[in-house]
Amino acid sequence: MKTQRIIAATLAASVSLISLSSCNGTSVDTIKAMESSYDNHNKTIELIGEFDAPSFTFSSGKSKTMAMNFIVKPHAISSEKFTAFSVILPVGTENNNVLFELPADQKNYTLKNFNVIDKNGEKINLDTHTTFKMTGTVHYSELEKPEGERDKTNFNYRITDVTFEKE
């Protein structure tokens, strides 16, 4: 009887680990593909992860968009991270927007200064490290150049037409 419980517990733990390890592989694969080929140009992609603050922010309050980072992990307990850069979000209080609120006396920003409003209208502070399902269209700047002037190793992209919701 005790042996059966141990076997059942071991089997359950193994199944849990396998499901965790494959939990977000698709998002990781998508980011790897975006950084190594133009296959996703003008295509809609889906990623599961969390928004992160950009490495810098705009200098005036008149900016209408902000390039955010979107972090994905292979699975929930992984320390390995993959980043989709240049996820372009409108700045404002509408759905699928970002708000950057920095008090006048504060010089440095943290995640607490960023809120996003998902497609359902829910305002979420980025400091909560909420997981989102995000979709958007990938555009490669290199493909906007004439073919003879392109650097075939430059996979810089931006993701536009972004919608997201809390997972």
Reported as a single tens digit per residue, the pLDDT across 107-131 is: 888 899 999 999 999 999 999 999 9
pLDDT computed for residue 79 by the predictor:
82
Domains and CATH numbers, the chain: 24-166 (2.40.50)
Half-sphere exposure of 127 (CA within 13 A, CB side): 8
pTM of the model: 0.81
Q: What share of the chain is helix, strand, coil (3-state, %, to 5)?
A: 25, 35, 40
Question: pLDDT tens digits, residue range 14-32?
Answer: 444 434 333 467 999 999 9
Q: Which residues are paired to 47 by β-bridges?
A: 134
Mean pLDDT of 47-62: 78
Separation between Cα atoms, residue 82 and residue 31, nearest integer Å: 7
